[in-house]
């Protein structure tokens, strides 16, 4: 007769000692090779399978519960910021902030990278957008108004990669949100300042834009012209020149303007390149009698405000712009409306008398 001890069923293999990979494979229903890949963090395993293996490993006490929580937690959202390269100091500063953003973005579950691409080239921008769809979970970019860019945005949306336009928008496409100023209002603000600084008297004012391929620059121009027509019809706008946000081109354009219009009363830079304009004004000894207003508060434009070359700088805080973009992508991941609890940026006007504290180097 079989004794009672012989009648007791053998315990499962994993209870006779420490659990083995074979035990985890059996409980999770996968091969030992798959378990090995998951536990050693090697690629090639679907997220759902990773979760099943990690849960089995925790249940068998192969890994601590804390490791399970870390493994099953949401992966950081990978964001790419595409910015135009060149000498625009504001955009350079924004790029630096993005590179230094790991600690600020970590609470939102976001990891960001920045790439500078050739400015004012819509086909290159469109290609860059499409090249990122396998690499990232979302793209923020300074848009050019062009069919190729709209098509790229729509294709990314079809592949579930949301895009956010930053500083300059593009219309009639499936971008998720726009983070930037009301540029028509920004241009109107510049026009109002010129009307006040010039006292409504007759005078010539020139505009230097980055490119009217940027909707932001086009809207600023329209707002500027509308206000001057309303408030200071005696002011003559002597033309619009494109300098592609380049300091050297802005310098040459300003020298030409001063040569053709010795009685020039003001210059409005719609984009970047303020340093080039300032150099030409100083060389001509016109920095005290030409009203100079521009966009983008940087250490360089700060210095131009202090020495009196610039009267005012219209800007938005780059750090706030970065965090607003991150908030939009966090909302999208959580299934909320893109702009939920995201405040639109405010137009800031900086004068010499209200300079904020200098930013640390």
- Inform me whether the pLDDT recorded for 270 exceeds 60: yes
pLDDT at 361: 59
Q: At 3, is the pLDDT very low, low, confident or very high (cuts 50, 70, 90)?
A: very low
- Inform me whether the pLDDT recorded for 15 exceeds 80: no
Reported as a single tens digit per residue, the pLDDT across 32-65 is 999 888 888 776 777 678 888 888 888 888 887 6
Reported as a single tens digit per residue, the pLDDT across 284-316 is 999 999 999 999 999 999 999 999 999 999 999
- Inform me whether the pLDDT recorded for 317 exceeds 70: yes
Torsion angles phi and psi, residue 166, rounded to 5: -125, 125
Sign of the CA dihedral 233, 293, 226, 249? positive
Token duo for residue 263: 């009685």
Across the chain, mean pLDDT equals 90
179 close to 325: Cβ distance less than 8 angstroms: yes
Q: Does residue 167 or residue 62 have the better pLDDT?
A: 167
Number of helical (H) and strand (E) elements in the chain, helices listed first: 15, 11
Q: Does residue 80 or residue 48 have the better pLDDT?
A: 80
| Threshold 0.85, pTM exceeds | no
DSSP string, 318-340: HHHHHHHHHHHHHHHHHTS-TTT
What are the angstrom distances between the C-alpha of 298 and each of 191, 305, 315? 21, 10, 9
- What is the percent of the chain with per-residue pLDDT over 90, rounded to a whole number? 72
Reported as a single tens digit per residue, the pLDDT across 83-109 is 999 889 999 999 999 999 988 998 888
Cα dihedral 208/210/215/218 (nearest 10):
10
């Amino acid at each position: 007769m079989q004794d009672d001890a012989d009648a007791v069923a053998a315990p499962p293999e994993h209870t006779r000692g420490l659990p083995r990979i074979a035990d985890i494979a059996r409980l999770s229903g996968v091969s030992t090779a798959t378990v090995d890949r998951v536990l050693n963090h090697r690629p090639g395993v679907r997220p759902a399978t990773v979760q099943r293996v990690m849960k089995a490993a925790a249940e068998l006490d192969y890994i601590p519960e804390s490791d399970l929580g870390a493994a099953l937690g949401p992966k950081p959202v990978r964001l790419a910021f595409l910015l135009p390269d060149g000498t625009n100091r504001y955009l350079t500063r924004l790029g630096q902030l993005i590179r230094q953003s790991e600690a600020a973005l970590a609470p939102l579950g976001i990891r960001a990278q920045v790439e500078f691409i050739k400015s004012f080239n819509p086909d290159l921008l469109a290609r860059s957008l499409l090249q990122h769809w396998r690499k990232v979970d979302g793209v923020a970019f300074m848009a050019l108004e062009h069919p190729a860019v709209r098509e790229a945005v729509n294709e990314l949306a079809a592949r579930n990669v949301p895009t956010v336009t930053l500083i300059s928008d593009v219309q009639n496409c499936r971008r998720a949100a726009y983070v930037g100023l009301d540029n028509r209002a920004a241009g109107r603000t510049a026009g109002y300042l010129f009307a006040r600084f010039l006292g409504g008297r007759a005078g010539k004012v020139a505009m230097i834009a980055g490119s009217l391929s940027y909707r932001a620059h086009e809207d600023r121009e329209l707002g500027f012209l509308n206000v001057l027509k309303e408030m200071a019809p005696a002011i003559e706008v002597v033309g619009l020149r494109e300098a592609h946000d380049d300091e050297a081109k802005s310098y040459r354009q300003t020298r030409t303007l001063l040569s053709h219009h010795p009685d020039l009363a003001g210059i409005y830079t719609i984009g970047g390149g303020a340093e080039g304009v300032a150099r030409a004004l100083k060389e001509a000894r016109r920095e005290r009698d030409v009203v100079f207003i521009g966009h983008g508060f940087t250490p360089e434009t700060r210095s131009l405000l202090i020495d009196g070359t610039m009267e005012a700088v219209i800007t938005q805080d780059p750090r706030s712009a970065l965090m607003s973009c991150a908030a939009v992508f966090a909302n999208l991941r959580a299934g909320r409306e893109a702009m939920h609890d995201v405040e639109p940026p405010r137009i800031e006007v900086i004068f010499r008398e209200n300079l904020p504290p200098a930013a640390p180097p």
